[in-house]
């Protein structure tokens, strides 16, 4: 069962992490979803696949009315990211879906019309949420050719999508990374195989190193916080990517 857990709260500004589901079928990859609320305005980051929509909707319902979600952020085009879009639109047809301009002709296959989508240029853009300005951050080729992260300057949280993802073994249900050296073993093969551009990796490491980040929230696995954020960036900067480990 998925649960929604508060990972940041300051007045009317809040982050909920809808975390891993140990009861899901083994053939479905596990995912994290994140809901950001500011002054009653709400954006759902990578809402997940159609098959987990009921679990995500139910988890959010314990803390926030899901029908009030009026924005969705899609980091890229994969079905585990955004194939639930049509179901969210049934509850609120006015939802706006923010995504790379590259995918505005592809993601409509999951639902939505021309007015649903807000294309984000390659260099990113600001997204207004309540009284705050969030930032769509370029993360192209990591792993998708049109890939974006989401940064909240107030909460100092970076939603990193598949960057930082770890495919954790059954029973590892920690919300946060507790032992970096042990945790990163479950991220290495994924990053070597799925991250396709050494230059894009270096650009991303330089870009996010300039941000004030207290938590880095990936789409799969546990959340990095504190010094582990810097540890991950340093580890990733040294990792050979786009290769099969022999």
Residues of the domain holding 56: 4-238
Q: Is the entire prediction scored with pTM above 0.85?
A: yes
* Res 185: pLDDT: 96
- pLDDT for 177 equals 97
Look at residue 175 and tell me if it is in a domain.
yes
Q: How many domains, in total, are found in the chain?
A: 1
Is residue 68 in a domain? Answer: yes
In a domain, 245, yes or no: no
Answer yes or no: is 192 within a domain. yes
Query: What is the number of other CB atoms lying within 10 angstroms of the CB of residue 9?
Result: 12
Per-residue confidence (pLDDT) for residue 1, from 0 to 100: 80
Q: Does residue 244 lie in a domain region?
A: no
**Beta carbons of 90 and 54 less than 8 angstroms apart:** no
For residue 175, what is the domain's CATH number?
3.60.15.10
Sheet holding 117-120, edge to edge: 4-10, 13-18, 33-38, 41-45, 71-73, 96-100, 117-120
- The answer to whether position 223 is within a domain reads yes
Contact predicate 23/1, CB 8 Å: yes
The candidate with the shortest Cα–Cα distance to 151, out of 120, 188, 185, 187, is 120
Q: Which residues of the chain have pLDDT under 50?
A: 246
Which of the 8 DSSP states describes residue 64?
S
Residue 164 neighbours by CB under 8 Å, 6+ apart: 187, 216, 218, 221, 224, 232, 236
Q: What is the pLDDT of residue 245?
A: 63
């Amino acid at each position: 069962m998925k649960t929604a857990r508060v990972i940041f709260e300051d007045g009317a500004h809040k982050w909920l992490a809808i975390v891993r589901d140990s009861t899901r079928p083994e053939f479905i990859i596990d995912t994290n979803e994140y809901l950001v609320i500011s002054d009653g305005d709400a954006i759902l980051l990578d809402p997940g696949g159609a098959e987990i929509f009921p679990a995500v909707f139910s988890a959010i319902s314990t803390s926030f009315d899901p029908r009030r979600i009026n924005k969705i952020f899609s980091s890229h085009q994969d079905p585990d990211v955004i194939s639930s879009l049509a179901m969210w639109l049934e509850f609120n047809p006015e939802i706006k879906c923010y995504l790379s301009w590259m995918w505005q002709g592809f993601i409509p296959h999951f639902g939505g019309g021309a007015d649903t989508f807000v294309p984000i240029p390659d260099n990113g853009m600001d997204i207004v949420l309540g009284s705050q300005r969030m930032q769509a951050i370029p993360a192209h080729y990591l792993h998708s050719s049109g890939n974006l992260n989401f940064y909240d300057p107030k909460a100092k949280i970076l939603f990193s999508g598949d960057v930082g993802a770890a495919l954790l073994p059954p029973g590892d249900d920690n919300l946060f990374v507790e032992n970096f050296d042990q945790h990163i073993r479950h991220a290495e093969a994924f990053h070597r195989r799925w991250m396709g551009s050494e230059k894009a990796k270096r650009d991303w490491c330089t870009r996010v190193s300039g941000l004030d980040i207290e938590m880095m929230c990936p789409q799969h696995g546990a959340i990095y916080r504190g010094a582990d954020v810097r540890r991950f960036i340093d580890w990733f900067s040294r990792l050979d990517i786009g290769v099969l480990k022999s």
